[in-house]
Chains A and B, each alone.
Chain A
């Protein structure tokens, strides 16, 4: 039987509870957001004792469903003050699911600050270990030894926060190990690492030896669905082996988005970066080949992934520098900071992985600091020095470690590209209007993954459609709903490339869920269930004090034209408000 594991950090107790009936069909983001909404007062201080962190694998995670080892981490965000879900692909997710744990709820707060514990989780329960010897360290020096020591040589998976989380910085992510045990898979956004830090939870090591595995209500239905999803993924040009993602990684987007004129450059001053080709996915593939003497295709972040998009960057001597140079990370320290050198970008990403930081927020903060005069745009050497300050917890380091909005305030910068306090990722809303609607109206602050697809027609970019047409707003809402449902299944969002093009694949995804849960959902239910998730999240945010006026992009985007298109953000506020009224 599935259980909820409740970890009380005040009393240092852990207990397993039966899953209440209303949560039975939930998973991933659906479950984290529901538990947070039910148990956390929306107005609480994100770093205080009333906030909680919920960690939940998706509905089909831990099964043979392809590309489904995602884990959602939820809580009230110290960065945005909203409800937050961040997710990562990691073997940790599958192991947790196989133990029959539908969610971990981390609650309470120890009486003494700055004391940390590790929780070890096995089929027999949870135990607490003092974490003193693992705190204050680079996560590259924590992950493999912690797994070895606490796991006793068994195949275990690790979650941990870094120095940034221990110091309760708002850009702190929650780090999970990949299949090689690297500290590289982040539930990065929104500062949930800081919330774990406020609770004194340094990390969790999960050992699934002897685990019962995920119960499947109808094996035939599940298997039929699984086959359809796998067929879609292995045939689609983007997701198939040696396809775009497997060869070039997500950084294939650098050249593409640069050509659209929507690659935010030098803190969102321009939309095209002259150094883009030097740091794009093609350059990574070619550079790796030159340095290792072979074609280096990408690897899986978690078991059972067909897409396998995680890359590595190698040093001149052919040894590994860092994994993974994702598009967003590449952009955050590359174009966004005017840096066109992959070795520098790799080092900045490695620093973030080691310190326990979200690369998007940290790169955003660095860009804003450059705007504020802390460093010249393009000065990679100084950028590395500044980022190192975060680990030393100096005043400057703490400013950056608390994200772009804090950095902007400290440096008196107006050009701060955030929504609800969260920095925008690698797509310029003045050039790509659809993503701006997602940034503005998402329940998470500026987040590219929140509303995966917004049809351009919604915005009337081609001039043919009335942007205020309520039917179009409804369409925009529909895309956010589909995303929310996908985040609940445990599948990686990247399966959307294939299943949105191949109808059988989408049906297969729903059948997998039906197989596991014994439900009778159809693809028509995707929007309904997604809407339910968004409703829960929006209600939490409303109770936390957010309203329509928070669903806006920053003022400078309405005033400053963005080269090369020289457009401003001109989507009317009324159109934004209709996304959720539709």
Chain B
């Protein structure tokens, strides 16, 4: 079953994994998802090393853990560790309910 791709927005040093790398533009990669795939696995498929992903991972605007599953059709934003959210206390993190 083919699902819609995830629209991955990359920032900072992660922009190099997109074709558009201009820091003043949108660096976006569209990635098809496999069933049950997590954000972390999807990022690995783009080629992003785990340690280059910071705490700021947003799936459709919700702060999420890398173990959260994607379904397809979402907007995923990944920021490097030097762009960690300043006011992170305001955000609940999804996908880490354990």
Contact = CB atoms under 8 A, between A and B. Distances in A.
Contact of A255 (B11, B63, B91): B11
Interface string A228-245: 000000000110000110
Interface string A423-443: 000010001101100000000
Interface in B63-98: 63, 77, 79, 81-87, 89-92, 94
Given A282-B11, A283-B24, A455 B58 contact: no
Interface string B1-15: 000000001011000
A36 interface: no
A238 B82 CA distance: 7
Contacts of A237: 81-82, 84
Nearest to A327: B86
Chain A interface size, as a band, is 35 or more
Contacts of A285: 23
A256 B83 contact: yes
Given A244-B84, A462-B92, A260 B23 contact: no
A247 B90 contact: no
A278 B25 contact: yes
Given A453-B89, A456-B90, A252 B83 contact: yes
A573 interface: no
Given A256-B56, A260-B63, A432 B23 contact: no
Contact of A287 (B24, B25, B63): B24
B23 A283 contact: yes
Interface residues of B, number: 27
A272 B9 CA distance: 14
B36 interface: no
A461 B82 contact: no
A157 to B, nearest CB: 28
Nearest to B12: A282
Nearest to B79: A256
A260 B61 contact: yes
Residue among A244, A453, A455 with max Cβ neighbours from chain B (10 Å)? A244
Interface of B: 9, 11-12, 22-26, 56, 58, 60-61, 63, 77, 79, 81-87, 89-92, 94
12 contacts: A237-B84, A259-B79, A261-B61, A278-B25, A283-B24, A286-B24, A427-B87, A434-B90, A435-B87, A452-B89, A453-B87, A461-B92
| Closest 9 pairs (CB-CB, A-B) | A261-B61, A283-B24, A259-B77, A282-B23, A453-B89, A286-B23, A434-B90, A456-B92, A462-B92
Interface of A: 237-238, 243-244, 247-248, 250, 252-253, 255-256, 259-262, 271-272, 277-278, 280, 282-283, 285-287, 427, 431-432, 434-435, 452-457, 461-462, 479, 497, 500, 564-565
